[in-house]
Amino acid sequence: MPDWLVILLLMGLVIVMIQPEAAHYDWYQGLRRPLWLSFYIWLPAIRLVLQVAFYGSVLILHSRAPGGIWVAGYLLPLALLQASTWCSCRLRRLGLGCLVALLAWLCALVLAILVWPISALAAWLVLPFLLWIPVEGLSECQMLRLNGIGVPLEPRRRPKPLAPRRRLPRSHSR
């Protein structure tokens, strides 16, 4: 089996295995979104472009420096980005999804820095990934606020101040 097909199958497997189920995704779709996120219907196309750029990057790098460690290096941020969606949809934890996405962004940044000396083009093809993750993170942080998720719906009540202690009279023994 050619290397390009093995890499494509591995990436596809990661994406499919960490995909939230339709019922969980429906909950996520029902959440209120920021007004600036009007292009949300294009998310599948955006994700496809990111994955194609990522795939192109790994193929270029693999042609210059073959090895499974580089492929694994590309699979890690891809898996983390998918896991962030899974956390947000399946677990209904947008905050956790944001943290996992931040971790994906950091891994992709390290990957781009490590790849740069081997192939500048491969590093540049990681750039869409690095640009998109903050957009997703910002939208989810705003969705937290808009939907009251993770934010107390009622203001916290302050505890009543303690009444001053009464001193008991001391008994004086003679």
pLDDT (tens digit, 9 = 90+) per residue, 66-113? 888 999 999 999 999 999 989 988 988 888 999 999 999 999 999 999
Rounded-to-integer distance, Cα 96 and Cα 119, Å: 33
Buried b or exposed e, range 140-173, using 16+ CB within 10 angstroms? bebbbeeeeeeeeeeeeeeeeeeeeeeeeeeeee
pLDDT at 130 over 90: yes
At residue 20, the pLDDT reads: 87
For 52-171, strand residue ranges (E) read: none
What lies within 8 Å, CB to CB, of 54 at 6+ separation is 11, 74, 78, 125, 126, 129
At residue 155, the pLDDT reads: 45
